[in-house]
Amino acid sequence: MRAILSLVFVSLLWGSSFLFIKVAAGGIDPLGIAAGRLVVAACCLLLPAVVRSVAWPRTRAAWGKIVMLSLGGQIFPFLMLGLAGHLTTSVDMALMMGAAPLVTFLIARVVPPGEPWTLRAAAGLGLGFVGVVIALSPPVDVLPGGTDGHLIGRLCALLAAVGYAVGAIVSRNLSREVGATMIVTASMSLSAAVAAASWLALWGASAAAVLETVSTASIVALVVLGVVNTAFAYVVYVRLIHTAGAVFASLNNYLVPVFGLVVGAVALSEPVGPAALAGLALILGGVLLVRVGSGRAR
């Protein structure tokens, strides 16, 4: 029961993150959202690491994978979600996250050592792809960004899901070398430094003036996003992996898009059309088939 509650809790944390991204997007640029989120999360993770004097990775191979995880699995998807927050709804961002386990499955079959295909898993991948296509269909209600902007926002969120899948593959074996907690701490710290430097380089001398124009609501949303939905959620997730196993913890992929859809619809009164519901059902059905077909359903 404790493991189930932890799974639901971490899924709720990640599912509600799209709400705070949307609120932060009201006053912060996409790169600023990514950088601010990473800096806040890194500070939360670094403090206990410094206090406990933990051992940092020492090999070049480990740091090479951490760099890949940082760039592909954190900075890139966080930036894409920042862009999506300016163009589409939090519901759509959550919906696109349902594709992450499908992309992970596909990459895992291509990247060495590779994992075997089954007919059922291939069918699940196809079903999930159909769900993504339906979910990307033009919205009935045109939002401020317009239909084109709305579609681009969904595509950005889908690219974020691809980034998360890449991060999952990169960290697949790295956790055995340096530990899951250190992976998160080291990669988040590196990501925060790169993203913050990039944001400062983008705005240059006007950076201070830009910060002064940020609304209180956006700042609060960004802090909550960094502390609760990123740093704290990762800690809970790592502990869940340790106590219940990686296979059980990965079931959050079923729950995150559902929680995100419900939270966005309730908190922000965002529309949820039939295409979104049909797409989500097909995506989750595809994920279920993939897991059963790969012999990993529990």
Quote the pLDDT of residue 275.
Answer: 84
Query: Are 287 and 128 spatial neighbours (Cβ–Cβ below 8 Å)?
Result: yes
Confidence band (pLDDT; 50, 70, 90) for 228?
Answer: very high
List, for residues 176-223, the tens digit of each pLDDT value: 677 777 888 999 999 999 999 999 999 999 999 999 999 999 999 999
Extract the tokens encoding 38.
Answer: 């990473």
Give the C-alpha distances (Å, rounded to integers) separating 136 from 45, 96, 190, 273, 280. Answer: 36, 9, 33, 12, 11
List, for residues 9-38, the tens digit of each pLDDT value: 999 999 999 999 999 999 999 999 999 999
What is the residue-wise DSSP string for 193-249? HHHHHHHHHHHGGGHHHHHHT--HHHHHHHHHHHIIIIIIHHHHHHHHHHHH-HHHH
- Range with the lowest mean pLDDT among 31-40, 54-63, 283-292? 283-292
List, for residues 95-142, the tens digit of each pLDDT value: 898 888 888 878 877 766 556 667 887 888 888 889 888 887 765 444
Cα–Cα dist 251/264, whole Å: 21
DSSP 98: G
User: Whole-model pTM?
Assistant: 0.87
Name the residue among 65, 159, 161, 169 with its Cα closest to residue 108: 169
For the chain, what percent of residues have pLDDT higher than 90? 48
For residue 243, how many other CB atoms are within 10 A of its CB?
12
Cα–Cα dist 205/193, whole Å: 18
